[in-house]
């Protein structure tokens, strides 16, 4: 009787919507779309046309959700073995593989139509390529086969600023690729911090994550080295002239904090430290791109 009641509860419309929404990894999607929207605003000295802003945001959100749903479909057995992901409806068998596939196809098709209709074909094709890069190349090929999966596959996750820029201008200039490079270099220290304190779960899953294939000490060194490179790369917007002093000061402060985390992880590791570093890395990227936006309009208004 109790199991029947719980099953009935799991099928209520509100709960069913929440299950499908979980497949799109909302928090990850929000960060990706945030970076895409920043790319839109940086692409123009004025305000972003509403058509490109709304169409680009909705279209990129839909295709990102579709890619994450495919990721959940492919990794449902792996997710079931890991405490971090075992709660997902795909891992729990609450949504079937067929339903996930249909859901992803509908989201993807809707996203492509929105981008084609409200932005331009280039944005649609770039976003579709990003979908394939993440859902197929990264999830199906790279992630289960190489400990460098997050480095190579990070190219897809780094694309949102370029997508946003293309949505407004119809092309992707070097400035947009600088933003892509920042996210690309940010991804390894961000993800490997997670992989360190979740190493036992990844070991259980069978995925070849760096801490388990090359050891914790090597991974800690890689986090430090990538964070040092990130420090330099994050200053490229200022060096290129696309940002001013507001961004420069913000970037240096954020980089110093991130570098302090990386140094502590290398010298005196603990799982709690890696957990805090992982959380800060998300704050870091959000604030860095927010600083770009503030600087963009501050620079346009007062030239500072």
Number of Cβ atoms within 10 Å of the Cβ of 37: 21
Cα(158)–Cα(153) distance, integer angstroms: 9
Cα(180)–Cα(226) distance, integer angstroms: 15
Region 118-145 average pLDDT: 93
| Same domain as 177, residue 141 | no
The single residue listed with the structure tokens 């593989």 is 97
C-beta separation of 143 from 154 below 8 A: no
pLDDT at 172 over 80: yes
pLDDT digits (tens, 9 = 90+) for 186-198: 999 999 999 999 9
- Highest mean pLDDT: which of 76-80, 88-92, 259-263? 259-263
| Same domain as 78, residue 28 | yes
What pLDDT is stored for residue 9 in this prediction?
A: 44
pLDDT digits (tens, 9 = 90+) for 58-73: 999 999 999 999 999 9
The tally of domains found in the chain comes to: 2
| Same domain as 184, residue 164 | no
| Same domain as 99, residue 244 | no
| Same domain as 30, residue 165 | yes
| Same domain as 209, residue 143 | no
CA angle (245 as vertex; 240, 251 as ends), nearest 5: 80
| Same domain as 220, residue 166 | no
| Same domain as 178, residue 56 | no
The better pLDDT of the pair 137, 234 is held by 234
User: Which CATH number does the domain housing residue 86 bear?
Assistant: 1.10.357.140
| Same domain as 177, residue 276 | yes
The better pLDDT of the pair 7, 73 is held by 73
First to last CA, the chain: 68
User: Which CATH number does the domain housing residue 228 bear?
Assistant: 1.20.120
Cα(216)–Cα(167) distance, integer angstroms: 41
Helical segments of 83-171, H only = 97-118, 121-132, 149-157, 160-169
Region 95-107 average pLDDT: 95
In a domain, 2, yes or no: no
CA angle (124 as vertex; 121, 127 as ends), nearest 5: 145
What whole-number percentage of the chain has pLDDT above 90? 76
pLDDT at 7 over 60: no
In a domain, 183, yes or no: yes
Look up the domain containing 93 and give its range.
12-150+160-170
C-beta separation of 39 from 165 below 8 A: yes
| Same domain as 139, residue 66 | yes
């Amino acid at each position: 009787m109790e199991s029947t009641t719980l099953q009935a509860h799991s099928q209520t419309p509100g709960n069913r919507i929440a299950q499908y929404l979980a497949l799109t990894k909302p928090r990850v999607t929000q960060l990706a779309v945030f970076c895409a929207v920043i790319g839109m605003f940086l692409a123009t000295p004025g305000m972003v046309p509403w058509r490109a802003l709304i169409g680009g945001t909705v279209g990129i959100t839909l295709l990102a959700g579709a890619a994450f749903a495919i990721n959940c479909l492919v990794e449902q057995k792996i997710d079931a073995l890991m405490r971090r992901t075992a709660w997902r409806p795909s891992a729990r068998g609450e949504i079937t593989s067929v339903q996930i596939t249909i859901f992803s196809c509908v989201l993807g098709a809707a996203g492509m139509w929105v981008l084609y209709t409200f932005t331009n074909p280039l944005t649609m094709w770039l976003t579709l390529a990003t979908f394939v890069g993440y859902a197929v190349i990264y999830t199906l090929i790279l992630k289960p086969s190489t400990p460098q999966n997050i480095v190579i596959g990070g190219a897809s996750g780094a694309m949102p600023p370029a997508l946003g820029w293309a949505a407004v201008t119809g092309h992707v200039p070097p400035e947009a690729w600088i933003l892509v490079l920042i996210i690309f270099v940010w991804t390894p220290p961000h993800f490997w911090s997670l992989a360190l304190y979740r190493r036992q779960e990844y070991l259980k899953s069978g995925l070849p994550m760096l801490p388990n294939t090359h050891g914790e000490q090597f991974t800690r060194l890689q986090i430090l080295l990538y964070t040092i490179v990130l420090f330099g790369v994050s200053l490229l917007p200022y060096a290129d002239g696309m940002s001013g002093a507001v961004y420069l000061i913000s970037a240096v402060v954020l980089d110093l904090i991130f570098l302090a985390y990386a140094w502590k992880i290398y010298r005196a590791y603990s799982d709690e430290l890696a957990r805090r570093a992982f959380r800060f890395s998300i704050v870091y990227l959000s604030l860095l791109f927010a600083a770009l936006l503030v600087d963009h309009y501050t620079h346009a208004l007062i030239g500072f």
